[in-house]
A and B are shown apart, each in its own frame.
Chain A
Amino acid sequence: MTNDLIFDLQEVSCAHQGALVLGPLSLQIRAGSRVAILGANGSGKTTLLRLLDALHYPHSGVASAFGQRIDEANFADDEVNFAFRRRVGLVFQNPDVQLFNPTVFDELAFGPLQLGWPRERILTAVEESLARLRITHLRQRAPHRLSGGEKKRVALASVLIMEPEVLLLDEPTAALDPESQGEILRFLAEGQGSGRTIVTTTHDLHLVEGIAEHVIVLGAGKLVAQGTPAEILGNEALLRATHLIHSHWHRHADGEVHEHDHLHAHSHAHVASSITLATPYRPLQRSRP
């Protein structure tokens, strides 16, 4: 095992109520890498992320983080648990379950307080985190009264304040409006080169190139493929088999209807019947009157 290995999963599987929901799969994640876990709904992305955060334990196989085994017996030890939580942070997909304090300030202070930081350090860190995520104005607001995008930023700040070496993000842009998505992506892009390991789950292909240099594809709980974003996004058969390509219909202002697949990250603007593409797409069936 090399020193820069953070997560090492060997033939790991997870079961829920007797049914296998993940694996068996083997994978390794190295320090400082930015990894995207791609998969359709129900493919096991969240289970894998929670396994990496030692919130779920393997049903079979061996999982380890920083050379320590991820299992119930090991994490029953307070010292092991404390050391691990200091180094790994998870941002949940649903911010509502992650935000449980009366104010945004309390929310951000929660993690450092658990880690036993001194008072002055906590106060400084809270102010810095609020400023970094541009949520200083929400300082005394109740988290349950915030908008979806604000909640997501508070959830991200509440984990980042603990300065984890590894950041696990469960669909960070899910259910956000474009502006809030942009804010989160801007933040992730700013984090490039920080040396932090970032593992992000998503099924959104157009995010992949911006957030990862290594992609793991899951399908029905199994590891289907892994490679660079270019390799994965260029493999149409793979994306189709794992339900990551979607076809959809458009009806334009002039009445034209067409269907196309999203094979690559692309955007297009609908102006009358013209379509502007950032990257090419391949239409399946063209122009129905």
Chain B
Amino acid sequence: MKPRHGLLAGLARHFVEELADSLEAEQLAARAGFLQALDPRAKLLAIILLIVGASTARLLLPLAGLFVLAVVLSLLSQIPLASLVRRVWLVVALFTGLIALPALVLVPGEVIVTLPWCGLGVSRQGLRSAAFLIGRGETCVTLVSLLVMTTPWQQVLKAMRSLGVPVVVVAMLGMTQRYIFLLVQLALQMFEARRSRVIIAPDAAATRRMALAMLGVLLGKSLQLASEVHQAMLARGYRGEVCLLDEFQMCWCDWLVLLLALAVCVVMVLLK
């Protein structure tokens, strides 16, 4: 029989599964694909330039073109589209869709359709605003996902350091990746421990009180755990710098990709 979980426990469990998947996604980074072959510094810079381009796009068609480019890149890099649909496109569409929804009726302009059950009119300008928001969100998150899926996390951090990101920021990001799995596991164990000791199902108010109390305890434990993980890193000589077995090497195709990304970014900024 499938065990029953509370909302928070269910979310935490789902998060652990996703996180485990994402750790295994490092296998994607080992595939022989287009993005995988690029120097991480060039890849990081190129993705940043494309994101700047997507964020500043003022026409829908070029924005759609950039999204298609991201899809082509994922195919060339052997990233399964099903994985992008499940992890990126549906999630972004849901969240940005929720945010964009009010714009459909709140942005004044030419009404193109009137909603039958409430009488509110959807304006052309509102629809355009919503399309921009969703389009930019989908394109930017897809590009970031491509970077993360095709580059081992340590290489992303090292590339950030090479581009001048302060050591403290990179150390924090590195710590977060190492520590978050432990924290989620700890949260799950707490949920399971609570479930095993609850004999009579508490009412909603008591459940909320318990959940809040557990969050407080989890915060305390997480601080202790973070300190322990950091001490374990220090004990093995960690000083904030990212050290890799292989040094980065730029080749002509890395420079070419960078130039193309720069060109796309400039075109997106200039197109009106």
- A144 near B181 with CB under 8 A, answer yes
Q: A85-B237, A89-B235, A159-B236 are in contact. Are A114 and B229 (CB under 8 A)?
A: no
Determine whether A189 belongs to the interface, using a CB cutoff of 8 Å to chain B: no
Determine whether B250 belongs to the interface, using a CB cutoff of 8 Å to chain A: no
Determine whether A278 belongs to the interface, using a CB cutoff of 8 Å to chain B: no
- A82 near B181 with CB under 8 A, answer no
- A119 near B243 with CB under 8 A, answer no
Q: A55-B231, A97-B182, A97-B228 are in contact. Are A158 and B236 (CB under 8 A)?
A: yes
The 8 A CB mask of A118-136 against B (1 = contact, 0 = none) is: 0100110000000000000
Determine whether A263 belongs to the interface, using a CB cutoff of 8 Å to chain B: no
- B26 near A102 with CB under 8 A, answer yes
- B234 near A102 with CB under 8 A, answer no
User: B228 is contacted by which of A89, A94, A109, A158 (Cβ under 8 Å)?
Assistant: A94
User: B23 is contacted by which of A94, A98, A109, A142 (Cβ under 8 Å)?
Assistant: A142
Query: How far is the CB of A128 from the nearest CB of chain B, in Å?
Result: 16
Residues on A with C-beta less than 8 A from B244 are: 113
The distance in angstroms between the C-alpha atoms of A115 and B234, with both chains bound, is 12
Residues on B with C-beta less than 8 A from A116 are: 243
Query: How far is the CB of B242 from the nearest CB of chain A, in Å?
Result: 9
User: B238 is contacted by which of A96, A114, A159 (Cβ under 8 Å)?
Assistant: A114
- B235 near A100 with CB under 8 A, answer no
The 8 A CB mask of B21-32 against A (1 = contact, 0 = none) is: 001101000000
- A90 near B233 with CB under 8 A, answer no
Residues on A with C-beta less than 8 A from B229 are: 97, 100
Residues on B with C-beta less than 8 A from A98 are: 232
Interface SS of A by simple majority: helix
- A113 near B246 with CB under 8 A, answer no
- A55 near B23 with CB under 8 A, answer no
Chain B: CB-nearest residue to A105: B245
- A114 near B239 with CB under 8 A, answer yes
Interface residues on B, range: 20 to 34
The distance in angstroms between the C-alpha atoms of A218 and B79, with both chains bound, is 57
Determine whether B266 belongs to the interface, using a CB cutoff of 8 Å to chain A: no
- A100 near B23 with CB under 8 A, answer no
Chain B: CB-nearest residue to A86: B237
Determine whether A171 belongs to the interface, using a CB cutoff of 8 Å to chain B: no
Residues on A with C-beta less than 8 A from B26 are: 102
Determine whether B225 belongs to the interface, using a CB cutoff of 8 Å to chain A: yes
User: A92 is contacted by which of B152, B228, B245 (Cβ under 8 Å)?
Assistant: B228
Determine whether A78 belongs to the interface, using a CB cutoff of 8 Å to chain B: yes
The distance in angstroms between the C-alpha atoms of A98 and B235, with both chains bound, is 9
The 8 A CB mask of A68-107 against B (1 = contact, 0 = none) is: 0000000000100110011001101010111011100010
Residues on B with C-beta less than 8 A from A113 are: 243-245
Chain B: CB-nearest residue to A93: B228
Determine whether B14 belongs to the interface, using a CB cutoff of 8 Å to chain A: no
Determine whether B179 belongs to the interface, using a CB cutoff of 8 Å to chain A: yes
Residues on B with C-beta less than 8 A from A92 are: 228, 232, 235
Chain A: CB-nearest residue to B247: A119
The 8 A CB mask of B2-39 against A (1 = contact, 0 = none) is: 00000000000000000000011010000000000000
Residues on A with C-beta less than 8 A from B239 are: 78, 81-82, 114
Q: Which of B211-236 contact A (CB under 8 A)?
A: 225, 228-229, 231-236
Determine whether B87 belongs to the interface, using a CB cutoff of 8 Å to chain A: no
Determine whether A53 belongs to the interface, using a CB cutoff of 8 Å to chain B: yes
User: B236 is contacted by which of A85, A102, A106, A142 (Cβ under 8 Å)?
Assistant: A85
Determine whether A196 belongs to the interface, using a CB cutoff of 8 Å to chain B: no
Q: A97-B229, A116-B243 are in contact. Are A162 and B236 (CB under 8 A)?
A: yes
Chain A: CB-nearest residue to B246: A119
Determine whether A111 belongs to the interface, using a CB cutoff of 8 Å to chain B: yes
The distance in angstroms between the C-alpha atoms of A30 and B245, with both chains bound, is 35
Q: A94-B228, A97-B229 are in contact. Are A119 and B236 (CB under 8 A)?
A: no
- A110 near B236 with CB under 8 A, answer yes
Determine whether A206 belongs to the interface, using a CB cutoff of 8 Å to chain B: no
- A100 near B245 with CB under 8 A, answer no
- B23 near A102 with CB under 8 A, answer yes
The distance in angstroms between the C-alpha atoms of A110 and B233, with both chains bound, is 9
- A82 near B237 with CB under 8 A, answer yes
- A162 near B237 with CB under 8 A, answer yes
Query: How far is the CB of A145 from the nearest CB of chain B, in Å?
Result: 8
The distance in angstroms between the C-alpha atoms of A109 and B246, with both chains bound, is 12
The distance in angstroms between the C-alpha atoms of A162 and B238, with both chains bound, is 13
Q: Pull 26 A–B residue pairs with CB atoms less than 8 Å apart, ordered by A.
A: A55-B231, A86-B237, A89-B235, A89-B236, A90-B235, A92-B228, A94-B228, A97-B229, A98-B232, A100-B229, A100-B232, A100-B233, A101-B178, A102-B26, A102-B152, A106-B154, A110-B238, A113-B244, A114-B239, A114-B243, A115-B237, A116-B243, A142-B24, A144-B181, A144-B185, A162-B237
Closest 10 CB pairs of A and B: A114-B237, A100-B178, A113-B243, A85-B237, A97-B228, A111-B236, A98-B232, A90-B235, A55-B231, A97-B232
**With A97-B232, A100-B179, A142-B24 already in contact, 10 other A-B pairs whose C-beta atoms are closer than 8 Å:** A50-B231, A82-B239, A89-B235, A92-B235, A94-B228, A97-B182, A110-B238, A114-B236, A115-B237, A159-B236
